[in-house]
A and B are shown apart, each in its own frame.
Chain A
């Protein structure tokens, strides 16, 4: 393995982990409501920008990070309560359009609250690259990978072992039956927005020291996360993680070996290819519904 390949792989894994967090957010909301939440990218932006502001205000990371995540989660809950919930009973397409509107609104609001500049966030633990097999990795990348791994483990524990997690899975599988056993499916939807927003914010905070952040960082990241979710199969947790990593690696490889001009195109080529040839993705449920 050449050092160059190793370098692309490490970079790809880092970016891919971020996409995976976004894709998990898409999948959790999709499972609860069959809605694709196009405001998912804005949670990333809110997390990153809030962390920048809070640390600039002198708060230590240990305080600023949880606060930034909480802020994004609150925005997620508010989005469900005031934009999605009132349209309960509307078609899924209507709800998806609502989330698109919400994302434009949140982006505009962020531009007013903050500004249009790029903001750096200080790396959590320094920026001295660490050498691995001829390649180097930033300490922040290790944070990205480590935290993503921890979140994936925590989520699989939550959905596999806790009653609330199982109730959320049950709701996604059969909403009617879930209501009949007494699961409050509106609460499940509410929670899923909060959880997805928190995941998005974590992704935004993790990546901000590497790529900088700004009011419109959510547009591209949201689309990439969506592509990862589609690739893995919407609604599949495993699929979201694999889809995110594959997309991240494919992107950095093509940027490295072909041309970085095509980097962003990869995600869209993948969306099209999956929709044409494998509509349910790598791990998605076969068949499914027509829209």
Chain B
């Protein structure tokens, strides 16, 4: 088991956001997390990255207990997140954004990584000197994904990669997700586009008000009446 989350709780002030989450991700898997707004999806990913405090529970990554590890230590271990809303460094150039993605990696790894990201997203190469803030939403999403790949993730946490993008771009982003999966990157994907997320996922969890209410394989959940009604609009 690559990632093992047991009974994870987290709260904002006195309002609980996660109420005992159990989630597992195996190496090479693409696991999706679907749920309505406010279900706690982003909170869970932030807790996994160490930027959201947890009040109870354990997180194990490749056998090591990282429940209270600092964010930079998790990145070093290979738990890397593409945050919701892209969060690129607007005033810095595209290339600087990518270079900072490899902040904890060696110069050689960074140089190699940049070539890989440019091969994957050629548009970033043509805009390498431009400030990241000047890119379109879709390009910023590519940059955010590229920046995370620079850190050589063992487990990639993707938070709402298709949010706010035109349908054509959503397709493009999901094509990237499939390509990453094919390259055997382990991915934990959160997306409000439940249909697309479940379609690419090996397994998935359904989150409701801070609790996992359903889990199963991607196709299984796509067929589930409850899921269809609540998240697929059928």
Contacts and interface: CB of A to CB of B under 8 A. Distances in A.
Interface in B142-158: 147-148, 150-151
Interface in A159-187: 163, 166-167, 169-170, 173-174, 176-184
A176 B42 CA distance: 13
A182 B76 contact: yes
Contacts of B81: 180
Contacts of A179: 49-51, 71-72
Contacts of A173: 89-92
Nearest to B157: A180
A102 B50 CA distance: 31
Contacts of A167: 100, 103
Interface in B44-70: 49-51, 70
Interface residues of B, number: 27
Contacts of B49: 179-180
A176 B50 CA distance: 11
B29 interface: no
Contacts of B151: 181-182
A156 to B, nearest CB: 14
B189 interface: no
B89 A170 contact: yes
B101 A170 contact: no
B125 to A, nearest CB: 19
Given A169-B92, A174-B89, A180 B100 contact: no
Given A182-B75, A182-B103, A183-B72, A177 B87 contact: yes
Interface in B66-117: 70-72, 75-76, 80-81, 83, 87-92, 96, 99-101, 103-104
Contacts, number: 67
A181 B147 CA distance: 8
Contact of B75 (A163, A174, A180): A180
B108 to A, nearest CB: 14
Contacts of A166: 92, 96, 99-100
A173 B96 CA distance: 13
A131 B82 CA distance: 61
A217 B161 CA distance: 54
Nearest to A164: B103
B99 A180 contact: no
A179 to B, nearest CB: 4
A179 B104 CA distance: 11
Contacts of B71: 179-180, 182
Nearest to B159: A180
A169 B103 CA distance: 13
A180 B92 contact: no
A181 B75 contact: yes
Interface in A21-57: none
A284 to B, nearest CB: 13
B92 A182 contact: no
17 contacts: A163-B99, A166-B96, A167-B103, A169-B89, A173-B92, A176-B83, A177-B83, A177-B89, A179-B51, A180-B71, A180-B80, A180-B81, A181-B101, A181-B104, A182-B104, A183-B100, A183-B103
Interface of A: 163, 166-167, 169-170, 173-174, 176-184
Given A166-B96, A170-B92, 12 more contacts: A163-B100, A167-B103, A169-B91, A170-B89, A176-B87, A177-B87, A178-B100, A181-B75, A181-B147, A181-B151, A182-B75, A182-B104
